[in-house]
């Protein structure tokens, strides 16, 4: 039997070893973190089980789980709550998104000590709400006025936050010069590499922002779970106004080939991600675009604070709130699929409606999701032992 560690690490070939080690340490902690970091393993298993479910083609997030939703300020300055990770975005059957999201809900609820009976109810309600939103043929906006409960509270918090708050949190003054704070989430590059990185974004700033901004600092950003190990940078840029400098933090993330087969083609992976994000989100973040640098492609966007997400575990003590939140993200998922329907080879909304009218897929995916959540628990235990053993072997070499 092939080890779980070897199956997981196979898909991580070529990523930064030092940061990849952190990913594996995190994955060994609990089943939900393991699940987040093992998307290729999930879909390998899903296709091997050869379920009878079929569904229309849609643009997908590709790695839809409960932690890939969050609140942010759009390019129009307004606050939204939506899907926020599109690295694995593809054109593929729509049920691939919702079955992965369903398993993530089960793992979160399981960690919160929900009973087996309640877990089945949660998945059933999730699929029903997804189908209900598809029936409406309306892509729901999640703005402050149209949201409720936990999501609305989070968006109000984001609306009150000032850009300076994020700047003060992520930077510091060194001899009167503002620099990025180096810590566990931001690593310092070598001098020569730093110069190249700064030159690369300065070229992009001239093209995209007419040279109004210039790079002040850059570091390696450590964020996420599944994407840990890919090249990701945080830039500090500035422009001089009449009275003071204006600052921005820019997230630049390497774009790699998705694990799922994409049923359409793009000139590069960054264009795939940016296109899908514009199709699936109601309004995209500021400065979202593609960047070519040293033979690689990257997605550029203004940085969003990582804390602007709902802590599902904090909701676990209030089951009704948790269930409402799960219903809301079902609405968001369905709205994203409706939003992209009929565009760039995706199926029309009528096909999604026909799929939503069927009940057989809900029962089959519910059973499979519950079984796979249990399998993920077993995988995590095996992975933890195998990872620990691999580190012991390295020390003894």
Residue 73: predicted pLDDT? 85
Positions in the chain whose pLDDT score sits under 50: 394, 396-397
User: Which DSSP helix (H) or strand (E) runs through 249?
Assistant: strand 245-254
Residue 86: predicted pLDDT? 97
Which neighbouring-strand residues pair with 298? 254, 291
Radius of gyration of the chain (CA): 21
Residue 301: predicted pLDDT? 94
Residue 224: predicted pLDDT? 61
The residue written with tokens 């704070």 in the block is 181
Residue 227: predicted pLDDT? 57
Residue 397: predicted pLDDT? 40
Measured distance CA(289)–CA(49) in Å, rounded? 37
Q: Where are the alpha helices (DSSP H) in the chain?
A: 4-10, 17-27, 31-36, 39-48, 95-111, 116-136, 149-160, 163-170, 191-209, 269-280, 312-315, 319-340, 349-357, 360-396
Tell me the pLDDT tens digit for each residue of 131-186.
Answer: 999 999 999 999 999 999 999 998 888 888 777 788 888 999 888 889 999 988 88
Tell me the pLDDT tens digit for each residue of 262-287.
Answer: 888 899 999 999 999 999 999 999 89
Residue 157: predicted pLDDT? 85
Q: Where are the domains of the chain?
A: 4-160+317-396, 163-270+279-302
Q: How far is CA 293 from the centre of its chain?
A: 23
Residue 229: predicted pLDDT? 63
């Amino acid at each position: 039997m092939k080890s779980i560690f070897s199956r997981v690490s196979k898909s991580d070939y070529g990523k930064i070893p030092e940061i990849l080690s952190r990913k594996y340490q995190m994955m060994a902690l609990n089943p939900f973190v393991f699940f987040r970091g093992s998307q290729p393993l999930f879909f390998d298993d899903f296709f091997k089980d050869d379920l009878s479910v079929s569904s229309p083609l849609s643009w997908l997030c590709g790695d839809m789980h409960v932690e890939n939703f969050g609140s942010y300020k759009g390019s129009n300055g307004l606050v939204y709550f939506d899907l926020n990770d599109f690295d694995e975005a593809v054109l593929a059957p729509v049920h691939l998104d919702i079955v992965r999201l369903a398993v993530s809900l089960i793992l979160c609820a399981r960690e919160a000590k929900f009973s087996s009976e309640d877990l089945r109810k949660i998945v059933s309600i999730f699929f029903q709400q997804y189908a209900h939103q598809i029936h409406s043929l309306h892509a729901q906006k999640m703005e402050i006025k149209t949201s409720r409960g936990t999501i609305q509270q989070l968006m109000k918090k984001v609306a009150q936050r000032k850009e300076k708050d994020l700047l003060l949190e992520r930077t510091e003054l060194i001899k009167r010069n503002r620099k990025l704070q180096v810590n566990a989430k931001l690593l310092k590059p070598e001098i020569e590499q730093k110069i190249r990185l700064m030159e690369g974004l300065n070229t992009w700033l001239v093209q995209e922002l007419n040279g109004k901004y210039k790079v002040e600092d850059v570091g390696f950003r450590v964020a996420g779970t599944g994407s840990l190990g890919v090249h990701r940078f945080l830039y500090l840029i500035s422009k001089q106004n009449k009275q003071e400098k204006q600052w921005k933090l820019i997230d630049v993330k390497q774009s790699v080939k998705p694990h799922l087969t994409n049923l359409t083609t793009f000139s590069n992976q960054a264009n795939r991600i940016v296109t899908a994000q514009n199709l699936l989100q109601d309004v995209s973040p500021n400065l979202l675009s593609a960047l070519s640098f040293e033979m690689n492609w990257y997605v550029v966007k203004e940085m969003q604070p990582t804390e602007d997400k709902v802590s599902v575990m904090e909701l676990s003590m209030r089951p009704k709130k948790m269930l409402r939140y799960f219903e809301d993200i079902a609405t968001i998922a369905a709205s994203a699929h409706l939003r992209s329907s009929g565009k760039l080879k995706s199926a029309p909304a009528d096909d999604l409606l026909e799929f939503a009218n069927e009940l057989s897929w809900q029962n089959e995916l519910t059973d499979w999701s519950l079984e796979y959540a249990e399998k993920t628990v077993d995988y995590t235990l095996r992975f933890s032992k195998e990872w620990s053993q691999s580190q012991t072997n390295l020390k003894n070499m």
